[in-house]
Structure 1
């Protein structure tokens, strides 16, 4: 199953990212880095192209950026620093006076309004993505969100391009952001804008292309990040967090918050008055019970792991071309399989208390054994 934060597709954005650093000289790299730091690290504009060579303020901001992204702190435009700049990201600064607007909104019942729609998605899918993004935060705080269709809402959600309305941050320049949002302590508070020059997708709209210039982005996950800003959160320097500046394919579409995100939002609004119930812990089965069966088997860190219990099946999606019949690729294996894994050149298929050893090279079953034979029984 797939749960990507950004989804790669065949739509070209020749303007969406700066030229690859390998195609630029040192002065061009530093000029772009200066623009990046002006946009995201409050570096004051230096009009002379060569000013960086003697600029302590620029070197200091480079170090600040490198520290934020946990890079090697050199104060120079090294390869790792330039590589970070190439990634699609949020338009809000990493370091700014309004980055964290404690104590946030003075109320917990907020309204939101979707002002327009992207042509990339069905309106119903946009509605659903925004509602899910809001529920990510309401599930861990006392906040509630009510949609309105007319009048002025607390959160105003729109798709825009370039210079848009009175927004102080146009989608332009060398680093056009995917989206941005403004926190409660800022005059433009509650505005959440998505860059329509990019392409947007629902969770189920998953296709992959290896080029970084051919992308579609998961609206739900991007919206969840931006709404975090609209509620008062700054960017996190934890690469695993939803509030990390760059959008990643590793976040869960079911619950993308890390403890860092939860700690941040609860520092502003407090915990939810209705926390989810603690899950019931599974009972450990007796290893040598003759009726022992497994729900999954895998290998991790050169260890074989046997698993019991249900998996999360919320997304209910498979890779293209699947499911396939087991007998098409593994003759002799029955249609019902509880778990399977590969070990030492063989595949092992489990169903109830039995397992089948399968030789893939010869396409045949070589042994039938008890499932718990792996447990020294």
Structure 2
């Protein structure tokens, strides 16, 4: 099931009321609209604005429930709040249901080649919640949009909470043609993520990570997309059983208050601290699959750090690394670790952090500290010979599982403990439990 949240041009309730000042005269909806128009108006406000119909609700006056709901809608849409179906409001609500058509068409792309069936829900929760949000609005996640251009949409892999949801930038010029950004095309791409697909390396595939122009009248799904979706959900001739996306064979969620808690990597990310454990990423007390935020990233993260001034996050897994901005991978990544000066058979690093005071990218491996210089997306190299961790950070001995910087401190994790290292004093100031950051 899916639900399209907070959209407004699906119905056309006030087409014949533009000449009536309904605010100053108590005129019933039935008079200006007729029975069908009245039903549509009531149904629209019921579905999207929680309107409860009763006898008094049908009267237009300053304090009537109907007027209040119109004001609520106008405020949400950024219109002048009058409580009346004025011309500005009519210009919006009279638009044809292009959004609904594009969304349904996007779902049909996937249902045509799988046994999946999609059902629209007018209210309540759904497996795929669809919303449009303007730049600066975090819309229930921590990946706000950036206005026209840039990031236009993102979606989360199947799972609980945000899992499966698709968000679109309200500031984009959405169209049904090749001009602007075609809503159908982007929705079909994002719903691919909602159904569990990663990005494709094939430039002709719908799931290729770069938006491209296409003929909207002819849209054959590429074979790479078909193979991927049918691998996950079967082909259209198989049983139409739809599994609950929350049912999986994933390992049990980590107990953040367990004395045996350990982490694979830790980093800050846009003001939050993110803890990586197996396939999970933990934000304070919320758990999400890593693939919910970065669908193209293999399960598990060995090391991670953020460069706040660039709004970049560096992620390491196995012998590869990625540089991302928000949920978008930068061009040219992933890259192999050997381009930094490691041998080609180098398997993985243990931990990494960004020294904000000196602007240094620091990688840790087997008791050694390695400084790496990222000149740009094409030119990276090891800056100097490896040093011992215990020499650079007195008191930090042995293997480091994860590390991150918070304010003027570094926090080194080793098994069930973490060491707080003061940059200024150049010594360990506290020995803490791994779950120090959680309300246990």
Structure 2 length normalisation: TM-score? 0.33
With a CA cutoff of 8 Å and minimum separation of 6, indicate the structure with the bigger relative contact order: 1
Bigger Cα Rg: 2
**When you count strand as a share of all residues, which structure comes out higher?**
2
> If the length of structure 1 is used for normalisation, what is the TM-score?
0.38
